[in-house]
Chain A
Amino acid sequence: MSPHLTVYRWAYTMTLSILHRVSGIALFMALIGMIFWLMAAASGQAAYTEAMRTFASGPGKCLAAVALLALCFHFFNGLRHLAWDLGWGFERAQARRSALMVLVATLLAAVVCFYFLFRNGTGPT
């Protein structure tokens, strides 16, 4: 923990850094949901249909959308971290440019994901 963190002037790259953790925690919860969904499918048709009443409902699909947004961000920002681990993109201008690229890629990918998620509307399908 760094108590002196507050002395730095805010930069949007810092927001991305903390969002990586936030989205990671969100994805852990999404994994729990995913495993519940798989367990329902493993239990048979009746259990799956019952579970899909919740998963495919309006609130269920909205939570899935949040999970997909978190995944898109964590995915692209994770690629950025892996590039850093290879020693690429450490210059300040490069880090800012890659941050912007992550945000644009996240939004584009999330919009495509949302289209396929909501394409059949909500309700058990």
Chain B
Amino acid sequence: MSLRSPLSRVLNHGTARSGVSHWRSQRVSATALVPLSAWVVISLLALPTRNYALVSAWIASGLHPVLLALTILLAAWHAWLGLAVVIEDYVEQSLPKLLLLLLNAFANGLLAASGVYAVLRIALRSVA
């Protein structure tokens, strides 16, 4: 049973029923990114040189492709959620806001797909 009046529901007043899940997703992805982002940055900076052979070998070795793909997916998810809040806060007119929110979703989706594809291609090439 809802305690909201029919009028308030029609006018879209009150809760959108998605606030907590957005908030929680941002915290879950943040928590996972604490170890993952530190691992990626430290590992890449620690490589003695960043030439093609060494970088490909690092990406392809052991569980690195799995963790790297996971890091990319979580980073894009986290960026999507975070930028959505920024857009919702600072863009006031509804059409630009809608377009930017769509662009945000599509851009981060494209980044996630491209990143996972690149990691898999590097990893599988060295197996074959």
Which residues of chain A have a CB within 8 Å of any CB of chain B?
1, 21, 24-25, 27-28, 31-32, 34-35, 38-39, 41-42, 45, 48-49, 52, 56, 68, 71, 75, 78-79, 81-82, 85, 113, 116-117, 120, 125
Residues of B within 8 A of A120 (CB): 49-50
Which of B5-13, B14-22, B72-80 touches A?
B72-80
**B82 proximal to A (CB < 8 A):** yes
Q: Is the interface of A mostly helix, strand, loop or mixed?
A: helix
Q: Could you name 13 residue pairs across A and B whose Cβ atoms are closer than 8 Å? A: A1-B90, A34-B115, A38-B114, A38-B118, A38-B119, A41-B56, A41-B118, A48-B52, A71-B37, A79-B34, A117-B45, A120-B50, A125-B49
Residues of A within 8 A of B114 (CB): 35, 38-39
User: Which of B37, B92, B118 has its CB near the most chain A CB atoms (within 10 A)?
Assistant: B118
Q: Is the interface of B mostly helix, strand, loop or mixed?
A: helix
Report the 10 A-B pairs with minimum CB-CB distance, sorted nearest first: A38-B118, A116-B45, A42-B118, A42-B121, A48-B52, A28-B79, A45-B52, A35-B115, A39-B118, A125-B49
Q: Given A49-B52, A82-B30, A85-B27, are A38 and B41 also a contact pair (CB < 8 Å)?
A: no
Find residues 103-118 in chain B having any chain A CB closer than 8 Å to their own CB. 108, 111, 114-115, 117-118
Check A42 against B122 for contact (C-beta < 8 Å): yes
Residues of B within 8 A of A49 (CB): 52
Check A41 against B79 for contact (C-beta < 8 Å): no
**B101 proximal to A (CB < 8 A):** no
**B66 proximal to A (CB < 8 A):** no
Which residues of chain B have a CB within 8 Å of any CB of chain A?
27, 30-31, 34, 37-38, 41, 45-46, 49-52, 55-56, 59, 72, 75-76, 79, 82-83, 86, 89-90, 92, 108, 111, 114-115, 117-119, 121-122
Docked complex Cα distance between A45 and B56 (Å): 10
Residues of B within 8 A of A78 (CB): 30, 34
Check A31 against B76 for contact (C-beta < 8 Å): yes
Partner of B92, one of A1, A28, A117: A1
| Known contacts A49-B52, A75-B37, then 9 further A-B pairs from the complex at CB < 8 Å, ordered by chain A residue | A21-B82, A25-B86, A39-B114, A42-B119, A42-B121, A78-B30, A85-B27, A113-B41, A113-B45
